Amino acid sequence: MSNAVYLVSCVAQKADRRRRAADLYQSDWFKKARAYVESTGCRWFILSAEHGLLRPSSRIDPYDTTLSVLGARGRRAWGERVATQIDKALGRRFAGELIFLAGRHYRTPLLDYAADRARVPMEGLGIGQQKAWLAARIAEAREQAARAAQLDLFEDWPRSDVGV
């Protein structure tokens, strides 16, 4: 596990009732992003237009707020709020990488805050390309897990002929 934290944007498609934030968002893109970040073993949070920074375990109701309707001033205020929430969640001295799986409306208000520690691995990719990128990373993680499981099985074999 690295010292990175993933920031995944919320999506419009939501469940119809209160749920854990990780389970509220229903789009294929979000489900792939969630599967990918969970496969990394790193901490992750959701960037919510309504709530700011959300822990995946936070229980919330569906909402209709989007950053696109807030305008530049509203997005700046949202970014300041989220930066404060990140400092509170991670500590002001957190120096790890912030990896954005989020569109520009969610990234831009935080770029000054994140500055030299921000990474945007899917920058410039269309939604279909992003889903393909995420699917490829998920497949790689599953292959690594399968190889690790095979090694664990091999390690458990009896070693009567080895003299151990």
Torsion over CA: 82, 84, 86, 89 (sign) = negative
Q: Determine, yes or no, domain membership for 160.
A: no
Domain count, the chain: 1
Look at 49 and 160; give whichever has higher pLDDT.
Answer: 49
Fill in the DSSP letter of residue 3.
Answer: S
Q: Determine, yes or no, domain membership for 97.
A: yes
Per-residue pLDDT tens digits for 95-110: 899 999 999 999 999 9
Q: Determine, yes or no, domain membership for 69.
A: yes
Residue 145 pLDDT more than 90? Answer: no
State which residues form the domain around 36: 4-155
Confidence band for 160, pLDDT divided at 50, 70 and 90: low
Look at 54 and 157; give whichever has higher pLDDT.
Answer: 54
How far apart CA 18 and CA 32 sit, in angstroms, is 21
Q: Is residue 73 within 8 Å of 35, Cβ to Cβ?
A: no
Q: Determine, yes or no, domain membership for 19.
A: yes
Dihedral in degrees, nearest 10, Cα atoms 21, 24, 30, 31: 100
Q: Determine, yes or no, domain membership for 118.
A: yes
Mean pLDDT value across residues 140-158:
72
How far apart CA 10 and CA 91 sit, in angstroms, is 23
Q: Determine, yes or no, domain membership for 143.
A: yes
Q: Determine, yes or no, domain membership for 49.
A: yes
Element (H, E) at 24: helix 21-24
